[in-house]
Amino acid sequence: MEMMDSTGKTAKKAFLTALIIGVVVVCFAHPAPLRAEIPTGVFALSTGDRPAKSASLDNPAVDGISVRASWATIEPKEGVFDWTFVDSELARAAAAGKVVLLRIGTQSSKPQWVTDAITAAGGTFLTFDDDGVSTTIPVFWDPTYLAKKKALIEAVGARYTKNPVVRIVTASFANASSEDWSVPHSPDEVNAWLAAGYTTEKMLDAGKQIIDTTMKAFPNQYVTMAIGSNGNTGGTVKLDPDATYVARNATLTARASWPGRFLVQINSLSAHNPPAPGPDESVWNLLWNSKPDVAGQMVFSCYGEPTYRVNDGVPDDPGSVLRRSIDAGLSYGMKYIEIYQPDVASLPAEISYAHARLLGLPISDQPSPPSGLNVTL
């Protein structure tokens, strides 16, 4: 009996040893990406295809740089890439001790060869009024457009996912102009979308393709997406069951598929946003319900902006307007806020205030003195 016990113990020990070795082998064969906490604080928002200003890189209250590059700059010809600008900006950010949010413009700044390819394939386009400018874009679900866009994402990911300075990358699929969420939805535009074959299912499928491709291309980064409304005329003609249906369900799907990696942000932070938690069924309420992994971007700069867009057109001191905007973002639990460089350079007290509040640091509550100026820099 003693011999059987000893044999049994030996067999059990051998089995456990083999199991542990097997687990170790699997872990080394398929290492899980190591990802730090979601970056917090102030991100200085650079102009597209333009270097970050030294005022952003040198300011210790600036935690990150939002690098914006256009598809046309990166891939001027299909399969021919020019990484010069992005490489340079990442190196400058690293030297300054900043992390990077990387945003590639894939709609208004796409290269002509993409449009030509879609046309040659018999693709579908939609024309809309973009602030008085007649603009034509491929429909978001066009297969050629999606294929070219996904190939770009994969190429950018292959280049930069192993770069530790790149901490966040953006994804967009409902972007009629910039990388912000934008689905034209006046009554005439709704009818035009429907005539072009719009369905909610096509939109959600396009979103899943883009988000999944971005997640796979950037396994070491967080992925953020600006959300918005697709509108709802309130009558019989509408795009989706409700105004935020696509953004809400795209978010739910992304978070179920990629837990802990998908951030939601709104790129229209201002001094006149609705108080948290926002009206029911609004995009602001969707942001509130998407906490804690949420963020924001200022709708525009405050300093040197004569239309006072951030303050709903009402003249006021730029520093006061920016601080109220920051407080609005904090009320929604934003992890980071992208702030335009003119404000970073000219309103340092507000930048320090935002940095401290977003990182939970002691606050030196000394606002910038009223400038009395609001001229274009």
Q: What is the CA radius of gyration of the chain?
A: 24
Burial class (CB in 10 A: 0-12, 13-18, 19+), 335: buried
The number of CA neighbours under 13 Å toward the Cβ of 363 is 14
Which H/E stretch holds residue 125? strand 125-130
Residue with tokens 């606050």: 363
From residue 90, alpha-carbon distances to 87, 93, 301 in Å are 5, 5, 23
Averaged in consecutive runs of 10 residues, what is the pLDDT profile of the chain (377 residues)?
40 40 36 70 96 98 98 98 98 98 97 98 96 94 98 98 98 96 93 96 98 98 97 77 96 98 98 97 97 98 97 98 98 98 98 98 72 46
Residue-level pLDDT at 363: 86
**CA–CA distance, 153 with 215 (Å, rounded to integer):** 10
**CA–CA distance, 250 with 207 (Å, rounded to integer):** 6
Residue-level pLDDT at 36: 74
The number of CA neighbours under 13 Å toward the Cβ of 82 is 13
304 in the Ramachandran plot: left (φ > 0), alpha (ψ -120 to 50) or beta?
left
For the beta carbon of residue 134, count every other beta carbon within 10 angstroms.
8
Residue-level pLDDT at 189: 93
Q: Which residues partner with 226 through β-bridges?
A: 265
Positive or negative torsion for Cα 348, 165, 333, 200: positive
Q: Six-digit token pair at 90? A: 């990442």
- How many residues would you count in the chain? 377
Which H/E stretch holds residue 169? strand 166-170
The values of phi and psi at residue 224, to 5°, are: -115, 150
Q: In the chain, what are the domain boundaries?
A: 1-31, 41-359
Q: Six-digit token pair at 139? A: 């429909």
- pTM greater than 0.85: yes
Q: Does domain 41-359 have CATH number 3.40.640.10?
A: no
Residue-level pLDDT at 366: 63
Residue-level pLDDT at 125: 98
Instruction: State the angle between helix axes of 143-160 and 84-95 in degrees (0 to 180), rounded to the nearest 10.
Output: 40
Residue 30 CA, chain-centre distance (Å), reads 28
Residue-level pLDDT at 284: 98
- Whether residue 278 contacts residue 331, with contact meaning beta carbons closer than 8 Å, is answered with no
- Whether residue 123 contacts residue 145, with contact meaning beta carbons closer than 8 Å, is answered with yes
Residue-level pLDDT at 19: 38
